[in-house]
């Protein structure tokens, strides 16, 4: 975990000053600690007092208590999480491009890794959140992205998907990329054998995890008059029988197949379509898969790189494919898994 780089504020701590002030800036938050020799002090964040000590042993002890309080605050607000930092890149490879990222639930989401990377490369990013409950997790992330469009989108709610694309049409008049990073299967369908899956569970799984990508492609097409790139997230369980992946593997196989048909149909218009297939990542969706830890251990042990992937790895590779340099790559299922899929 990165720590704030505290510096003494000489303007306050000049000769004869009794209290001493330390300042630091982290992810746009202005931190100030002021301490007195008799062990009193306070911590201010963005000018607001958030912690105070009155009975520390001395100045040094007061500082160390307040320093801890500052770190706790940063962790709680997510501001100190390296994974939530938008990476700084010099090359604005996607400047002037505008895209929609669907599927951010929190700062562990693959969609967040993608949104950060697209933004870091200079693109403007619109984001959606599932419902009011999700909004409070997504809104601070949308602020980090400076997203001009932040809208609710539950694909089961009639009209919400259309409303998002309408807004993009009104605001931007075009769309350069779309990241579809959503999937859902009811517990009873996901946790049972494929052979036992009921019709409802099957249809819901296919509807949310596959058909919505086809529908988003349909809505994106008229906005991609000068071409664009459509992405969806898949998994190796579409190709191989992966323990506990069950009906989701069937849905991902359909999704990857849809990618190829969409790529063929939209290719003449300069619209490229890809499935991104990351190795296992500990996200909220993944927590619905039994024995997921075992899957992570196996992935790390078997992959040639001997490493797990991060949402940042997935993000930058996805963003690369949206660059014009990748204009003749389409219809792919791109594995971002440290090479896991090539090993027997």
Answer for the pair 179, 109: CB distance below 8 angstroms, yes or no. no
216 lies in the site for ligand NAD, by CB under 6 A: no
Matching residue, tokens 């204009």: 327
Sheet strands (E) in the chain: 7-8, 20-26, 29-35, 41-45, 48-53, 98-102, 124-129, 150-152, 177-180, 228-233, 271-278, 333-336
| CB of residue 304 to ligand NAD, shortest distance in Å | 18
Catalytic-residue membership of 235? yes
Answer for the pair 65, 56: CB distance below 8 angstroms, yes or no. yes
Residues 34-93 that bind ligand NAD (CB under 6 A): none
Catalytic-residue membership of 340? no
Matching residue, tokens 């196996």: 298
| CB of residue 120 to ligand NAD, shortest distance in Å | 18
Report the candidate in 71, 49, 289 with the shortest Cα–Cα distance to residue 185.
289
Of 129, 137, 245, 335, the active-site residue reads 245
Residues 217-276 that bind ligand NAD (CB under 6 A): 233, 235
Tokens, residue 200: 């409802």
156 lies in the site for ligand NAD, by CB under 6 A: yes
Of 129, 235, 335, 340, the active-site residue reads 235
283 lies in the site for ligand NAD, by CB under 6 A: yes
207 lies in the site for ligand NAD, by CB under 6 A: no
| CB of residue 84 to ligand NAD, shortest distance in Å | 14
Nearer to ligand NAD, 66 or 248 (CB): 248
**Cα(124)–Cα(111) distance, integer angstroms:** 15
**Cα(215)–Cα(219) distance, integer angstroms:** 6
Nearer to ligand NAD, 45 or 115 (CB): 115
State the residues that interact with ligand NAD by CB under 6 A.
103-105, 108-111, 130, 134, 153-156, 181-184, 208, 233, 235, 278, 280-281, 283-286
Active site residues: 235, 245
């Amino acid at each position: 975990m990165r720590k704030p780089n505290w510096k003494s504020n000489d303007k306050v701590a000049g000769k004869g000053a009794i209290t001493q002030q330390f300042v630091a800036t982290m992810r746009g938050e202005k931190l100030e600690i002021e301490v007195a020799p008799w062990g009193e002090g306070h911590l201010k964040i963005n000018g607001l007092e958030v912690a105070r000590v009155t009975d520390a042993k001395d100045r040094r002890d007061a500082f160390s208590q307040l320093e801890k309080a500052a770190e706790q605050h940063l962790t709680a607000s997510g501001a100190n999480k390296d994974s939530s930092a938008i990476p700084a890149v010099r090359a604005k490879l996607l400047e002037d491009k505008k895209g929609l990222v669907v599927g951010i639930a929190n700062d562990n989401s693959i969609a967040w890794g993608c949104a950060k990377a697209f933004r870091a490369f200079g693109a403007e990013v619109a984001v959606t959140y599932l419902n009011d409950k999700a909004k409070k997790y997504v809104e601070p992330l949308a602020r980090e992205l400076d997203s001009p469009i932040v809208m609710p989108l539950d694909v089961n709610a009639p009209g919400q998907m259309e409303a998002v694309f309408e807004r993009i049409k009104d605001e931007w008049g075009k769309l350069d990329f779309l990241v579809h990073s959503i999937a859902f299967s009811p517990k009873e369908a996901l946790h049972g054998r494929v052979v036992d899956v009921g019709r409802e569970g099957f249809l819901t799984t296919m509807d949310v995890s596959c058909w919505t990508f086809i529908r988003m492609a349909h809505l994106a097409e008229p906005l991609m008059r000068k071409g664009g790139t459509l992405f969806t997230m898949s998994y190796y369980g579409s190709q191989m029988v992966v323990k506990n992946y069950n009906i989701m593997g069937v849905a991902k196989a359909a999704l990857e197949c849809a990618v190829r048909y969409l790529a063929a149909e939209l290719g003449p218009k300069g619209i490229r379509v890809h499935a991104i297939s990351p190795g296992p990542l500990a996200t909220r969706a993944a927590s619905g898969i039994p024995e997921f830890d075992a899957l992570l251990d196996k992935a790390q042990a078997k992959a040639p790189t001997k490493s797990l992937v991060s949402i940042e790895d997935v993000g930058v590779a996805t963003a690369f494919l949206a660059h014009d340099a990748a204009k003749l790559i389409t219809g792919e299922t791109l594995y971002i898994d440290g090479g896991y899929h090539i090993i027997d």
